[in-house]
Structure 1
Amino acid sequence: MQDIRAATLDDIAALTELERAFPEEDRFSQRTWARLMRGNSAILLSDGDGGLTGAAVLLFRRTSRVARLYSLSVAEAARGTGLSDRLLEKCEDISRQRSCCTLRLEVRETNSRAKRLYERHGYRVMARAAGYYPDGEAALKMEKPLSGLSREVQ
């Protein structure tokens, strides 16, 4: 099993490389990664034998108890291993630790694999946003109420 850890500025090149396999409009630049790391966020990574295998980005607002899963990426070679489940669970735990009561996200309407992941974890569609992505595709806005203590605290 791969360990999940917090990202550092030293990971920016590997994060950029991880996303190279994704559509260009879905990738973050090195500048964006650096901005995210300096902001009110949590960036989690999973390392494997061949390098970075997955990443998740959580965004927080100081005045809100709602966290936002901004991105969850898993390398092609690590798909089907349960890594996306583990990253998502860790994001939920971190959100609870920060006293958030809800985790929200957006997912491409055509991304059936991701939609199944989120539904399996209790996320429900709250709205559809037409033309949400730069290529014009719609997004499904999903959320999950977070209750109880984090797994690490229990």
Structure 2
Amino acid sequence: MTPSPATAAVRVRRAELSDLDDLVALEQATFDHDQISRAQYRRHLDSDTARVLVASANHRRFLGTALVFFRKGSRVARLYSIASLPEARGKGVGTALIEAVEAATRQRRGHAVRLEVRTDNHSAVRLYERLGYQRIGPVLKGFYEDGSDAYRFEKSLA
């Protein structure tokens, strides 16, 4: 019997073209709105200014993904999207992905990571706060496709 994600070490790696079907499937299973399309993922996989990461355990299908953008001339990375399968939540997948985003940002000489999160996504807000992210600026009214508001968070990596 293979260990569950709760007992297995979560590994994060850069996504590859062969992950495209799984990336799209996870996106569709996780988000009702604001989904990243297959074409967008395809473009991001080859981009110098984006990094798509996937998390897995026990060499099985991956459990989560993160997409981070690096804007030329800026030392602030933007965590654009993070998702994990429902059965993987609370098992360290989000933490592992965020730590990998921070490592990738440092590798590119970035000094901070910013992100937006729905105001009603209490578990994600708690995760970001636990990992040292702080709310910045006002609530972003109607930020998401469905009209939901967002908080903006930032963490200094200096």
TM-score by length of 2: 0.88
Pairing 1:26–2:34 present: yes
Whole-Å separation in 1 of the counterparts to 2:96 and 2:10 = 10
- Give CA-to-partner distance per residue, 1:76-127, whole Å, 9 cap, x none: 1111111111111111111011111110000001000000000001111112
Pairing 1:122–2:142 present: no
2:54 alignment partner, one of 45, 58, 61: 45
Letter in 1 for 2:153: M
Do 1:18 and 1:52's aligned partners in 2 also have CA atoms closer than 8 Å? no
Unaligned residue ranges in structure 2 (runs of 5+): 1-8
- What count of residue pairs does the alignment treat as equivalent? 147
Within 5 Å, give how 1:1-154 maps onto structure 2: 1-39=9-47, 40-48=49-57, 50-127=60-137, 128-147=139-158
The CA RMSD measured in Å over matched residues stands at 1.3
Whole-Å separation in 2 of the counterparts to 1:63 and 1:38 = 19
Whole-Å separation in 2 of the counterparts to 1:38 and 1:134 = 26
Unaligned residue ranges in structure 1 (runs of 5+): 148-154
Once the two structures are TM-superposed, the CA of residue 55 in structure 1 deviates from its matched residue by 0.5
Whole-Å separation in 2 of the counterparts to 1:23 and 1:56 = 13
**Once the two structures are aligned, what percentage of the paired residues are identical?**
38
Once the two structures are TM-superposed, the CA of residue 2 in structure 1 deviates from its matched residue by 2.8
Once the two structures are TM-superposed, the CA of residue 13 in structure 1 deviates from its matched residue by 0.5
TM-score by length of 1: 0.90
- Give CA-to-partner distance per residue, 1:7-44, whole Å, 9 cap, x none: 01111100011122223313211111112222211111
* 136-145 vs 19-28, greater mean Cα deviation: 19-28
Structure 1 outlier segments of 4+, above 3 Å: none
* 136-145 vs 39-48, greater mean Cα deviation: 39-48
